[in-house]
Homo-oligomer: A and B are copies of this chain.
Amino acid sequence: MSFLSHLSSIISVSDSLQTELNSVTKQITVSKNQSIINIGHRCNDIYFVEKGLLRGYYLEEGKEITNWFAQEGEFGTCFYSFVAIKPSFETIQSLEDCILTQLPYSSLQNLYIKFPETERLGRIITETYYIKLEERLLSIQFKTAKERYQNFVLSKSSLLQRTSLGQIASYLGITQETLSRIRAEI
């Protein structure tokens, strides 16, 4: 799904907004295994995945911990860095060759002023991601490792063949050994 179709599924996007979006966004291609943003740098852009797969990860005692995946039709950014204008604690990495729509922070702020309906978009998209994050928090606090993996298989089955065991394990907050054991059991 393209960036504009995605937005149009949320609100009616006027022709003038569409023209503006085309002028302030950039479509970029990124090959597999590139770091788009590095830990410690400001994440100045939000990325919409037209094709491919991104992940955000941070380092905990030298180990990569996957914080999120963003596949086709989803947004990826280091939210904290992007919104709070602070250095990122995450690296954003392409797990596949990607086509991304890139929207800079300053352009988004201008859109908010010039096209008030984009505030509605921003509000609804943030609400949606808030609910997903809350689900994830509850799952990590109270679901067993097996339940978490089963839920991942159900809700993100398209990622199973596109990510490594280690990436899935750290995303679910379990060790790779535990994940291997669970997969063998199922």
Contact = CB atoms under 8 A, between A and B. Distances in A.
Given A65-B141, A79-B134, A126-B126, 12 more contacts: A79-B130, A79-B131, A80-B135, A83-B127, A116-B116, A116-B119, A119-B120, A130-B133, A137-B137, A140-B140, A140-B141, A141-B173
A15 interface: no
Contact of A130 (B112, B116, B126, B173): B126
Contacts of A181: none
Stoichiometry, as copies per complex, reads 2
A2 B140 CA distance: 35
A130 B140 CA distance: 17
A57 to B, nearest CB: 12
Given A140-B140, A141-B140, A120 B112 contact: yes
Contact of A84 (B131, B133, B136): B131
Contact of A133 (B65, B117, B122, B137): B137
Contacts of A80: 131, 134-135
Contacts of A79: 130-131, 134
Nearest to A113: B120
A119 B112 CA distance: 10
